[in-house]
Structure 1
Amino acid sequence: MDNKKQMTDELLPIKSSRKKPKVGDVFVIQPRKSLYFYGKVIKTDIQAINPFLKGKNTVLIYKKVTSELKVPDNLNVNTLLIPPQIVDFGGWTKGFFFTVGNLELTNEEINLDYGFKDTRMATECYRSEEGDELNHKPSIIGIYAVGSYGSVAYKVTKALEKHPELLDV
């Protein structure tokens, strides 16, 4: 990988906020200077069985890249960069997730077939963010755990290593 595309597994801070995210909030993350990827909040205040996940948020990170801090025309769930993530508020309070606006959830986002693999179980088990066991293997699978901006950064870095063309903006 040449120096221009050299990645670290950290996000660059943009601007911190104490404002809690709302469903539909579109935010950006910055894995490299002036290179932003869009994210969207699809669930807030999760009422999870697992106390570690209670009150957290589910976010999507898209392959859509920008160099501007503005709301995109659209976001397509068929172009996710990483699987859905359950995250705490640290990304916003520390300035790594910067909200640029709000877009109503699309039908595709509402009906997205996603779930989270429960790695604590000996047999294959998939759950909703609330902790309910799913009766099928979802088409998009995250890990059933609370993450942070650091875990999002790591997963984004790994995804960009597989798709370096996304860094050519």
Structure 2
Amino acid sequence: MNLRVLTPSRKAPQAGDVFAFQLPDLTYRFGRVIRTDATWTLAQGADGAVLIYIYRTQSREMAVPDRDELRRDHLLVPPMMTNRLPWSRGYFQTVGNVPLDEHDLLPRHCFLSAARGRYFDDYGQPLAGPIEPVGDYGLHSFRTIDAAVSDALLIPRTPN
């Protein structure tokens, strides 16, 4: 994978947590936990996903970026829903917590369910149509996050 292993953590992500991940060029990129109770499928009991933003910001230092770098207009990829594995496996390392405010968040989250050909928000509610940026309606693994980040940065994907 292009994401490097940092320090594994068993601590549950919290809304506002800023996390770092490292790429092959040894720069750090950053993301933020938006919610920890997102709904990632219409199946019963499918809430509890971690909704994250991943930003374009990069640094040679693993420190919380300036708040201006954590704006909704600095997203590298559309919002994603994942579980705790990126943290427990050490691909994401929490570096601090910056409480969320309304200016940090997209007005509405939108995800496309390819299987259903419909759009849903992060609460599992149907949407009439796309609202940019459109993410995938489902649970991302650290591998699919790696692929999305690699594609956005034009870094060749590593073979499985």
**Normalised-by-shorter TM-score class:** 0.7 to 0.9
Q: Which residue of 1 aligns with 2:132?
A: 139
CA RMSD of aligned residues (A): 1.8
For residues 31-50 of structure 1, the aligned pairs below 5 Å read 31-47=23-39, 49-50=42-43
Q: 1:77 to 1:157 in 2, by over 3 A?
A: same
Structure 1 CA distance, aligned partners of 2:57 and 2:130? 26
Identity %: 30
How far does the alpha carbon of each residue in 1:101-141 deviate from its partner, in whole angstroms, 9 at most, with x for none? 001113223343331001111xx411012311013421110
Structure 1 length-normalised TM: 0.82
Segments of 4+ in structure 1 off by > 2 A? 45-54, 108-114
Shift, 1:31, TM fit:
1.8
For residues 16-165 of structure 1, the aligned pairs below 5 Å read 16-47=8-39, 49-51=42-44, 53-74=46-67, 75-121=70-116, 124-161=117-154
Gaps of 5+ in 2: 156-160
Shift, 1:47, TM fit:
4.9
Structure 2 CA distance, aligned partners of 1:40 and 1:93? 16
Structure 2 length-normalised TM: 0.87
How far does the alpha carbon of each residue in 1:75-103 deviate from its partner, in whole angstroms, 9 at most, with x for none? 12111111101001110000001000001
Structure with bigger helix share is 1
- Give the letter for the 2:28 counterpart: Y
- Give the letter for the 1:44 counterpart: T
Q: Which residue of 2 aligns with 1:15?
A: 7
